[in-house]
């Protein structure tokens, strides 16, 4: 399971989420509550990249003297813009009906819970993640060979939702160097109200066999694994909207299921 499957790559890239944006009731200064705004947004993108229309739609309905920075919440939880939209959805949506209802705010920015940011901050964060991921995979050998125009092509491919433009450069970041597997798998395990988990998990185990998703969970989230090595009841572990089999090859996962920042973003959901 190590070869590229372009069909899967494109299917993952083209994943979209229907979102209904509503302005917070206590921030409406217009005579009437503005209509909700419905958008179909890419799972792979970030909120600051897809919400210009949201800003323009609601900005006139709020007190212009009280505007801070636009931010979003779901069921009381402020959303961290630096996580891909698909990762946020997998973590918070649960089994609710679609569309995903997000509350739009322009006031009372929760600076103790989320960072301020716009497109420039998103670009800086994105490129930083790409560099960190390549450090884990290739000791930065690939990223050091890329030029500024390559960084910009990656960013513009994501910004404009252009699969071929993005993968024209990203393929170099995902290829084996000297026919060697990635040293470690770039991933982050997300849990509600907790910092993300990140460990050094090799794609090749000490005995020379290929690591799989179950191995990653045993290292990074042992409390979710029972004595037989299976995921315990009460846990749901999701990436890209999918519950991945534990025997899935890590190198294959990293290549095909990573977000554009080159990390696997995995949501850990529990019944409690």
Residue segments in the chain with a per-residue pLDDT below the cut of 70: 1-2, 95, 272
pLDDT (0 to 100) of residue 104: 98
Instruction: Kindly list the structural domains of the chain, giving each domain's residue range(s) and its CATH number in brackets, ordered by start.
Output: 16-105 (3.10.20.620)
CA separation for the pair 54, 59 (Å, rounded): 8
pTM: 0.95
CA separation for the pair 165, 139 (Å, rounded): 25
Distance of CA 235 to the CA centre of its chain: 20
pLDDT (0 to 100) of residue 51: 95
pLDDT (0 to 100) of residue 272: 66
pLDDT (0 to 100) of residue 2: 53
CB 138 within 8 A of CB 182: yes
Output b/e per residue, 29-46; b: 16+ Cβ within 10 A: eeeeebeebebebbbbbb
CA separation for the pair 210, 250 (Å, rounded): 8
Sign of CA dihedral 29, 30, 36, 39: negative
């Amino acid at each position: 399971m190590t070869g590229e499957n372009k069909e899967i790559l494109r299917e993952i890239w083209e994943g979209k989420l229907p979102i209904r944006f509503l302005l917070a009731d206590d921030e409406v200064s217009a005579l009437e509550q503005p209509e909700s705004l419905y958008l179909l947004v890419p799972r792979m993108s970030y909120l600051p990249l897809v919400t210009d229309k949201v800003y323009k739609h609601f900005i006139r309905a709020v007190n212009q003297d009280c505007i801070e920075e636009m931010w979003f919440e779901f069921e009381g939880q402020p959303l961290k813009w630096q996580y891909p939209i698909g990762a946020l959805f997998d973590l918070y949506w649960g089994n609710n009906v679609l569309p995903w209802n997000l509350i739009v705010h322009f006031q009372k920015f929760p600076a103790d819970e989320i960072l301020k940011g716009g497109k420039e901050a998103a670009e800086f964060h994105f490129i930083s993640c790409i560099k960190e991921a390549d450090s884990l995979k290739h000791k930065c050998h690939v990223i050091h060979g890329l030029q500024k125009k390559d960084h910009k092509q990656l960013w513009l491919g994501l910004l404009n939702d252009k699969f071929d433009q993005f993968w024209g450069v990203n393929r170099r970041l995902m290829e084996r160097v000297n026919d060697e597997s990635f040293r470690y798998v770039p991933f982050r395990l997300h849990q509600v109200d907790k910092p993300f988990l990140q460990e050094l998990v090799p794609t090749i185990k000490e005995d020379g066999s290929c690591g799989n998703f179950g191995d990653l969970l045993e290292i990074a989230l042992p409390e979710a694994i029972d004595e037989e090595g299976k995921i315990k009841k009460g846990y749901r572990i999701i990436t890209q909207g999918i519950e991945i089999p534990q025997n899935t090859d890590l190198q294959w996962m990293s290549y095909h299921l990573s977000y554009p920042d080159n990390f696997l973003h995995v949501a850990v959901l529990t019944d409690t």
